[in-house]
Structure 1
Amino acid sequence: MNLPNVVSDLVKAQNMYDSAAYANCFSEIATVADEGKTYHGKAEIKRWIEAANENYKTVMKPIDFKESEEQSVLKAEISGSFPGSPVVLSYHLELVDGMVQSLKITS
């Protein structure tokens, strides 16, 4: 599967539990929407992913990627220390200038 560099970097950072590298995939004004909450900017995104990594030890396995001008969608099998693991989630990404501008995670 051919992923844009920033999406590949995002997956790699997640699987290494590297919250700084994960946050660096996002623009300064990026947003993340996950589990009914929204996080704004790199600092909040870094704190969110640090907490998620600590609580769930999530590993991503990309299974599909579709790209359009408005939005890209990465489907990934997510496994970790949470009830119902593994699950398939959709990562709705807005990519701007090689960075993630927004990310919304849905089931």
Structure 2
Amino acid sequence: MHENRPRSITPDDLPEVITRYLTAHRTHDTATAVTTFTDDATVIDDGNTYRGSAAIERWLDQSANEFTYTIHLTNTQETDTAHYIATHHLEGNFPGGTIDLRYRFTLRDGLIEHLSIEP
């Protein structure tokens, strides 16, 4: 019986599209970040769901300007060739000041189809 549990991988083993998204997100490069998603992608962050390119672009712009923070990649995992988790440690001027967030990616056709960000 094969269990579909995440296994640890190195950051270099993340698919290029995820690395491109994470780099663009970290540098607040919304134009590049939005190109990593499928046209019908969904993002779930802070209890809100954003569907489609226009909504995701607005979310990226808002999240880039809402708080000032540092972000460090602390762990990367692969469940299968379409499902990855990148855990980040954030410190900044948001409520609580520090948090570890799991970015759960689902890929389709070389792009991000779904991203869920949660503690």
**TM-score (structure 2 length as normaliser):** 0.81
1:68 aligns with 2:79: yes
Q: Distance between the aligned counterparts of 2:65 and 2:42, measured in 1?
A: 21
Shift of 1:58: 4.2
> 1:26 maps to what in 2?
37
SS at match of 2:102: strand
Rate the CA distance shift 1:50–1:60 in 2: closer, same or farther, 3 A: same
Count of aligned pairs between the two proteins:
107
1:62 shift after superposition: 1.3
The amino acid across from 1:52 in the alignment is S
**Structure 1 residues 10 and 58, CA gap change in structure 2 (3 angstroms):** farther
Structure whose CA Rg is larger: 2
Between 25-34 and 51-60, report the one with greater CA deviation: 51-60
- TM-score norm. by structure 1 comes to 0.90
The superposition leaves residues 22-62 of structure 1 with CA deviations (integer Å, 9 ceiling, x where unpaired) of 11110101000111110001111010110111111344321
CA RMSD of superposed structures (Å): 1.5
Could you say which residue in structure 1 is the equivalent of 2:96? 84
State the match for 1:93 in structure 2.
Answer: 105
In structure 2, the residue matched to 1:44 is 55
> Identity across aligned pairs (percent)?
29
